Structure 1
Amino acid sequence: MSSHTPKRLSMEDRILWNRVARTTEPLKGKMLEEASEPTDETMAELSRLVAKDTGSKTPAGPTLKEAPQPKAHPTRRIDKPTHTKLARGRLALEGRVDLHGLTQPEAHSLLLSFLSRAHADGVRHVLVITGKGASFGSDGVLRRAVPQWLATPPFSTLVSGIDEASRRHGGGGAFYIRLKRRHRSGM
């Protein structure tokens, strides 16, 4: 008889599950369990773990909202020939993540998790969908925030270029991201 230990959900999976769970109704006679949003302590722990994984030394105290902004390194635009190949489908987008409907802390952690995993897998080009943010007169909080995040650590250690996606891939509501090449370790 084998002993099965349940797999713990990653932060990305929990955020996604909470989004799905909010759209459902409980069966008759069943109580709705409130899916809690990540607490400030959870987000601080996530930030600490991410910092530990990327090698930076950030204290576990401040949350994403309270943390002082790290020094930004301007992220370069993707070169025109590569952008054209991506737009026409001649160069594959090896991954995509949709940040629609997420709060800034949720989107930040999901994006970092996604890009870290893609970089570790040797992926070079991905699509990040933020939405245009045209509702309620907004100009798109995530649309403005994502390029700023990508210019700061730990994102800047993963990303080598960013550019607005072509109309075919979402236009002003999405970005092409080029990830840096993974350094091969000598085995």
Structure 2
Amino acid sequence: MMPPPDRPADDDSDDAALFRAAIGDVRRLPDAAPPPAGPKPRPRARMAERDEAQAREEFRHALEDSLLEAGDALSYRRDELPPRVFARLRRGEISAQEELDLHGSDVREAEQLLRAFLHDAREHGLGCVRLIHGKGRSGSGGDYVDSRGVPVLKNLVDRMLRQRADILAFHSAPPAQGGTGAVLVLLAPRRR
């Protein structure tokens, strides 16, 4: 076969006609399907969400119903702690190795300080610590009460300590060690 002779550039229409004649009849391909849509959202368990919200609300109301007053003693003991050890803690016979004074702290700061303090105490192998939360009698120095006259820091400390798995027991300190304005906390030994 011989190569086609050189043609002038304005002969492009002949090339298109030759191409169509060589190919023959063509039919249009169907349009490509659109890309798949993103996955559908997972179904929500609306009843479970409502149940959880209701449980949170009931828990909040239960906490509000059990708020401590200024003179009330904080007291908590896990079942695995022998009663005689708890009695020693209650009498102040177990000495605190460190202490944290929360006076002058607002609720958010007090919560952060308390979490960090308990974490450090546990990391350093301390067995007993004292937390000074105040009695909530004065309006100054962070030892404040809420609109109902309830001591804010005292109730915060009580709630946080009850929720922690590393707390074996706690009780308000004897009068010589701060009375109902402080609490002695017995920490669980650190697992290695």
In the superposition, the TM-score normalised over structure 1's length comes to 0.52
1:141 matched to 2:152: yes
Which amino acid in 2 is paired with 1:160?
A: L
For 1:72-83, list aligned pairs within 5 A: 75-76=76-77, 79-83=86-90
1:11-55 per-residue CA deviation (whole Å, 9 max, x = no partner) reads xxxxxxxxxxxxxxxxxxxxxxxxxxxxxxxxxxxxxxxxxxxxx
Which residue does the alignment assign to 2:175?
167
Q: Which has the higher contact order (CA 8 A, sep 6+)?
A: 2
Q: Structure 1 residues 176 and 111 mapped into 2: Cα distance closer, same or farther (>3 Å)?
A: same
Structure 1: 4+ residue segments shifted above 4 A: none
In the alignment, structure 1 residue 95 sits paired with structure 2 residue 89: no
- Match of 1:181? 189
Counting only pairs closer than 5 Å after superposition, residues 81-160 of structure 1 correspond to structure 2 as 81-84=88-91, 87=92, 90-136=93-139, 138-152=149-163, 156-160=164-168
Contact 1:75 1:159 in 2 (8 A): no
Could you say if the C-alpha distance between residues 80 and 124 of structure 1 is closer, same or farther in structure 2, counting changes exceeding 3 Å? same
- How far, CA to CA, are the matches of 1:129 and 1:83 in structure 2? 16
Alignment partners' CA distance in 2, 1:160 and 1:120: 16
- Mark the runs of 5 or more structure 1 residues left unpaired by the alignment: 1-67
Bigger CA radius of gyration:
2
**Alpha-carbon shift at residue 75 of structure 1 (Å):** 4.5
CA deviation digits over 1:102-142, x for unaligned, max 9? Answer: 01110000000000000011101000000111025733110
Question: CA RMSD of the aligned region, Å?
Answer: 2.6
**Cα pair 1:132 1:139 within 8 Å, conserved:** no
Q: Distance in 2 between matches of 1:82 and 1:172?
A: 14
Deviation sequence 1:50-82 (CA, Å, 0-9, x none): xxxxxxxxxxxxxxxxxx79x8xx952761123
TM (norm. structure 2) is: 0.50
> How many aligned positions are there?
108
User: Identical aligned pairs, as a percentage?
Assistant: 30
Where structure 2 has 5 or more consecutive residues not aligned to the other structure, the ranges are 1-55, 60-74, 79-84, 140-144
